[in-house]
């Protein structure tokens, strides 16, 4: 059976370059292209035979690590490798803490990209040679990442919308649920994140992003 890989990046030229790199490494592979988080989730919803998602952290519909969080919550069996312009060790560490099985800097040589993809498809984790996750340990951030990973897909969506400043009735409209359901989700989010208010939940979610939140795109809608 051929591998099926989703390339989720809003830059067509980089998607083309990544596709060529993968084709040189794998004898039999098919691709799906996604230029936004919504397109990525639509592909994963429509098919159950995706072997790998190559995910950019900064594209339409994504706030920092929110896309990775939602994807891991909704499709926990689909391996995800982050492909990012960032090379900060702290960013790489957080991506792995949130469930990514690999992290490929966009500046990495083609051979490294090929090795990373082959490694993850075999079930292992791949990181750049110069990254030491142990040295990047932060107990508080690690605990926050664990708490965020316990959110359900719908709770993750609600948290993303809280970060956009949406009111309960606006979230209810976007998700086609009642305001009472949204309130229940918000209460569950506060409990899981061990915070007392919506504002504190938003601040906690922003902390996990670090510098990823500064330039990430907003506007996700389910």
For the cut 60, the answer to whether the pLDDT of residue 194 exceeds it is yes
For residue 148, give Cα distances in angstroms to 125, 177, 193: 21, 22, 7
Highest mean pLDDT among 60-74, 80-94, 190-204 belongs to 190-204
What pLDDT does 215 receive? 36
Average pLDDT, the chain: 86
What pLDDT does 218 receive? 35
Average pLDDT over residues 141-170: 88
Average pLDDT over residues 24-37: 90
Give the tokens for residue 6. 């989703």
Which residue ranges make up each domain of the chain? 3-135, 139-215
- What's the CATH class of domain 139-215? mainly alpha
What pLDDT does 132 receive? 67
Does the domain made of 3-135 have the CATH classification 3.40.640.10? no
Residue 126 — very low, low, confident or very high, per pLDDT cuts 50/70/90? Answer: very high
Give the tokens for residue 151. 């959110």
**What is d(CA 37, CA 54) in angstroms, rounded to the nearest whole number?**
12
Residue 216 — very low, low, confident or very high, per pLDDT cuts 50/70/90? Answer: very low
* Domain 3-135 identical in fold to domain 139-215: no
**What is d(CA 84, CA 95) in angstroms, rounded to the nearest whole number?**
10
């Amino acid at each position: 059976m051929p591998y099926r890989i989703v390339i989720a990046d809003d830059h067509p030229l980089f998607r083309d370059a990544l596709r060529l790199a993968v084709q040189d490494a794998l004898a039999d592979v098919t691709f799906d292209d996604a230029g936004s988080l919504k397109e990525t989730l639509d592909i994963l919803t429509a098919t159950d035979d995706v072997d790998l998602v190559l995910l950019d952290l900064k594209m339409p519909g994504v706030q920092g690590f929110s896309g990775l969080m939602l994807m891991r919550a909704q499709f926990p069996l689909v391996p995800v490798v982050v492909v990012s312009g960032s090379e900060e060790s702290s960013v790489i560490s957080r991506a792995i803490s949130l469930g990514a099985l690999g992290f490929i800097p966009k500046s990495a040589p083609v051979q490294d990209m090929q090795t990373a993809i082959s490694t993850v498809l075999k079930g292992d984790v791949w990181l750049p040679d110069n990254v030491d996750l142990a040295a990047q340990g932060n107990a508080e951030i690690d605990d926050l990442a664990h708490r965020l990973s316990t959110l359900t897909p719908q709770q993750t969506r609600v948290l993303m919308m809280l970060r956009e400043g949406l009111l309960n009735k606006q979230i209810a409209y976007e998700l086609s649920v009642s305001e009472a359901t949204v309130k229940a989700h918000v209460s569950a989010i506060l409990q899981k994140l061990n915070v007392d208010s919506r504002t504190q939940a938003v601040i906690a979610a922003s902390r996990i992003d670090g510098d990823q939140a500064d330039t990430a795109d907003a506007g996700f809608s389910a």
